[in-house]
Structure 1
């Protein structure tokens, strides 16, 4: 009996040691296959200069991270290394955020199955004991992988492929990357929005927008893709971001930023400019940036997209930024505010899709809903370096944890490997932190900063420019007046169906229903076209102003008189914010400097607050 127990114990120890030793061997094989000679040390972080385009998620108080790209420096040699590192960080423990102090751990992996070194995909916490890895680009010069989804079991500690699919357009790269990911609060459903399919080796370098793959719904209970479809207006986006908000019956998604595909857009700031307030007229881009003041909202229950225009201190257009959302407690009237924090990212200036040569940002903005107003956070000098292609997560309900990110560009000569892998921003105090501490349950609450509330003014529960759509108002307020609300539309549709079915029978009812569906479709299309026409109109006007210095009026503007040292130019163009305001360009003082001025209708009295040039 003792001999049998001894043999069994030896076998168990051998298996355990084999399991512990196998994982780095598997990673080393993948690293070797990529042609790299420098290997990552996930515990000491030796030589780690940067980490970006990784996938990460938070589940059960633990941060998980997989893959991406790294710059490592050893023996005065810097190399970009794709990797299959799978790391975890216990968020129930305190730690410093200075260099080389992050207490990463390596999850145990049983067996010899691990995902390839994917980058810029998505990671979801999933249902049950799984975390899921969705898509991601295949590393350069490695055999291209099919589209897939992987799951890691926290109980069995094994990786397995949970879904795999092919594409009808098989001549293009397979895997989707550089989109935006989010999941519902119950963990049942994930979404992946935007992105492209890209691949590169010694003989091929290309990327492709899959128009039917810009909005993907994922079943996080089964770990499988459930559907793919288009975005409204045929949008195709790279590097946008999306958050989930608890509004509507099943919640809603809010989509901001990234590239667009409006060919008239001038998206690049003047190169080497000290202030990002100009446009280079010679740089007309085929894949320009999406305007940050057009906010897209997706009602999960209705399966419909809406848009709403935002005002305030609008961020410069950008992609590859990170974004998180926090919701306040109800006030005495039961009203809540949702604050979306937008950090970093980069421009689209002279950026190849395979490079990192655009200008990164180090700024922070808050988009407050339902006011749909931007507020720029005054960060001061104590802040992390500019970066993009990082990931962000809400921790302790009131802090934004920023993981990784790439600085400046991929061809930069590195002078050192100073690296801040984790940064922490307090969304209550609006300050960057130097230490992470788990919050007590009673102290783990988001409270909107007083400076932000003061800047928003009295109208925190409705947009400054009014609601673009009554259904959007219904989502945020629950007030669905008349026949414009979603519930009223459903009831009216059902009532009409019963009435016509009784009156004219099945055939007549079917005909009327077809007409109703057609009318609803045309109504929706008109709204979408209205959004596109509005955006294109603003872009064309901006282009005209930047190239000619003039904006011509389409209608007359009378009774506008001088106010102080500003007067109204005759070459003005009323804007189309629901006929509420007009942007007027005048000249100020003796320096003849053009300034924009905003007028109210119908009194035409100039506000004290000046606005930027046409956004």
Structure 2
């Protein structure tokens, strides 16, 4: 019996090692999430899709490339009957290995035809760009990716500014970087494009148009479609500007570039009010009054320049056509100490049903070593209610996501500046003191009448055989489903092989010790069956997580925090302690980036729905590798003043 016990212990150790190894290779973006940044997002129907970018996991804070196509379900805020307060993350979509996962690109949404277009972006430090540039497309109906070869005049760009306009069926991209991570044949320092790209999603046609009249390259700013003039306008601001000598400087937040689509002409207009500090790698969204009398651009966060290089944890509104900046977070009159601000950059913003700005992820510029997580319980999602949330006592912008909210009303912060009411009726309709161009004065008196676009293809009928979702397309229809079935099967076979080996070994030893005695008959071993498909469960020991009791209500004026409904304070809950079940619907594991990890990490959960600057403070030892080096040197080593460098590294004054 002693021999059997010894062999059983060895077998148990081998099985545990195998299971732990398998679990370590299957980091779960739902249960193990820590941070996400550099990704792209877009809304089609009731899904907010996420592609590319990088992420960290709770117990493995190395930097990984997100190789999955994910989506947040905009119809629910409950996961396993628990109220999260924000859209639930799902992982059951297809992305074949031949389609790259990039950082700093954009997803253009063709709502009418249920198709996403992935444009631009750059490869990770450890990867080489593909031989030729292609435009990638995801078919929502078929859950399949495809690739197209664009016009030869189009180059891959990264960290430019883009948007798609549904009723026009057109997409736009302004500026962006060209470097060795966008083009394998690139030689020399990075350069910024000064072109405006236009893509006809219906006719599959490209237009490479000139940018603003100053001909400076632009990158890391933002671009929005504004429904004024005959066919609408594009508004661009912020980011980095690069002159013909390669000198980089901060893009203006007070001078707005305007492109009239009907006239095919660029203009500039000065803005006034609470002008934000210059910034780059921030994000935003736009909402328009019911009567069309104003359109309001909301922005959040970003990296800064010079003494402000660490960046910002704040939010502003640019109201058009008055071109007035309004600071909304922290609220006016609130004094916040620097230590209480949590600047973020490289997040994505998506407007849902014209009323809520869903902000996903972002990197903490004060914490590039990943010593904190971005609300793992809500997968780094934060919600800015563009009309404000009326709690009965006060109104605030940060709040839970409401799947039924589909109306935008003008908040009082804007009404105080332009007059009118919640539905529009703006009284002030021009900048102070006036428009910088007589043309703009005329164009902004016209508003666009938006008509729904007719699809060029028909949605497939839902049948009993096809199912109502991609989850039901067959047990081997996606890599996630194949992994969910094959991984447990393979592990089960390996475990049985190990147990069988030691059982035979024990039997032979016992037979030798007992001579020719016939052993007593014994019933066969019983194995626990999974209730779903009869496959054995695979368990992996997870780093123990500390249990936290009820989270306190925080002062609504506290920096980085906000008071929310009681649903966010229902604790106690455990931050995914115990064992991990291998996910049933996941794609292959993400690609790990270069670097090593030293130390261990555990984290405390906080309420979901808080502002994007709300981190989770963990217990940390050791040092962790930083995210992409591109663009982060200012965050790590802020320059002494507003100095920039040319392509050769020589310093120039900002006034050059």
Task: Find the aligned partners of 1:43 and 1:205 in 2 and give their Cα distance.
Answer: 39
In the superposition, relative to structure 1, how do residues 309 and 204 fare at CA in structure 2: closer, same or farther (>3 Å)?
A: closer
Match of 1:129 in 2: 114
Alpha-carbon deviations, 1:590-611, whole Å to 9, x = none? xxxxxxxxxxxxxxxxxxxxxx
- Contact 2:418 2:429 (8 Å CA) reproduced: no
Match of 1:344 in 2: 301
Task: Find the aligned partners of 2:249 and 2:364 in 1 and give their Cα distance.
Answer: 21
- Contact 2:69 2:93 (8 Å CA) reproduced: no
Task: Find the aligned partners of 1:377 and 1:425 in 2 and give their Cα distance.
Answer: 11
Alpha-carbon deviations, 1:557-590, whole Å to 9, x = none? xxxxxxxxxxxxxxxxxxxxxxxxxxxxxxxxxx
Task: Find the aligned partners of 1:107 and 1:67 in 2 and give their Cα distance.
Answer: 15
Task: Find the aligned partners of 1:316 and 1:373 in 2 and give their Cα distance.
Answer: 14
How many pairs are equivalent?
Answer: 404
Match of 1:119 in 2: 103
Question: Which of 348, 354, 370 is matched with 1:391 structurally?
Answer: 348
Task: Find the aligned partners of 1:463 and 1:413 in 2 and give their Cα distance.
Answer: 43
Match of 1:235 in 2: 216
Alpha-carbon deviations, 1:511-540, whole Å to 9, x = none? xxxxxxxxxxxxxxxxxxxxxxxxxxxxxx
Structure 1 residue 415: Cα displacement: 5.2
Task: Output the aligned Cα RMSD.
Answer: 3.7
Alpha-carbon deviations, 1:107-143, whole Å to 9, x = none? 4438x46421211101011251311101210121212
TM-score by length of 2: 0.56
Secondary structure of the residue aligned to 1:361 is coil
Q: Does 1:314 align with 2:275?
A: yes
Secondary structure of the residue aligned to 2:429 is coil
| Equivalent residue runs for 1:204-353 within 5 Å | 207-211=189-193, 214-223=195-204, 225-261=206-242, 286-330=247-291, 336-349=293-306
Question: Which of 325, 329, 342 is matched with 1:374 structurally?
Answer: 325
Task: Find the aligned partners of 1:208 and 1:342 in 2 and give their Cα distance.
Answer: 27
Q: Does 1:454 align with 2:416?
A: yes
Question: Which of 125, 130, 137 is matched with 1:140 structurally?
Answer: 125
- Contact 1:123 1:131 (8 Å CA) reproduced: yes
- Contact 2:212 2:267 (8 Å CA) reproduced: no
- Contact 1:51 1:68 (8 Å CA) reproduced: yes
Task: Find the aligned partners of 1:350 and 1:164 in 2 and give their Cα distance.
Answer: 41
In the superposition, relative to structure 1, how do residues 364 and 413 fare at CA in structure 2: closer, same or farther (>3 Å)?
A: closer
Match of 2:30 in 1: 43
TM-score by length of 1: 0.59
Q: What stretches of structure 2 of length at least 5 have no aligned partner? A: 1-23, 389-394, 420-425, 448-641, 644-656
Task: Find the aligned partners of 1:395 and 1:41 in 2 and give their Cα distance.
Answer: 26
Task: Find the aligned partners of 2:70 and 2:213 in 1 and give their Cα distance.
Answer: 37
Q: Does 1:437 align with 2:424?
A: no
Task: Find the aligned partners of 2:202 and 2:97 in 1 and give their Cα distance.
Answer: 21
- Contact 1:52 1:69 (8 Å CA) reproduced: yes
| Equivalent residue runs for 1:513-528 within 5 Å | none
In the superposition, relative to structure 1, how do residues 303 and 410 fare at CA in structure 2: closer, same or farther (>3 Å)?
A: farther
Structure 1 residue 428: Cα displacement: 1.1
Question: Which of 413, 418, 443 is matched with 1:475 structurally?
Answer: 443
Q: Does 1:63 align with 2:48?
A: yes
**Structure of higher RCO (CA pairs closer than 8 Å, 6+ residues apart):** 2
Structure 1 residue 445: Cα displacement: 1.8
In the superposition, relative to structure 1, how do residues 100 and 324 fare at CA in structure 2: closer, same or farther (>3 Å)?
A: closer
- Contact 1:121 1:134 (8 Å CA) reproduced: yes
Q: What stretches of structure 1 of length at least 5 have no aligned partner? A: 1-36, 169-173, 265-284, 352-357, 480-545, 548-615
In the superposition, relative to structure 1, how do residues 71 and 232 fare at CA in structure 2: closer, same or farther (>3 Å)?
A: farther
Structure 1 residue 286: Cα displacement: 3.4
| Equivalent residue runs for 1:139-218 within 5 Å | 139-145=124-130, 146-164=132-150, 175-199=156-180, 207-211=189-193, 214-218=195-199
Task: Find the aligned partners of 2:221 and 2:148 in 1 and give their Cα distance.
Answer: 26
Task: Find the aligned partners of 1:116 and 1:410 in 2 and give their Cα distance.
Answer: 28
Task: Find the aligned partners of 1:252 and 1:290 in 2 and give their Cα distance.
Answer: 20
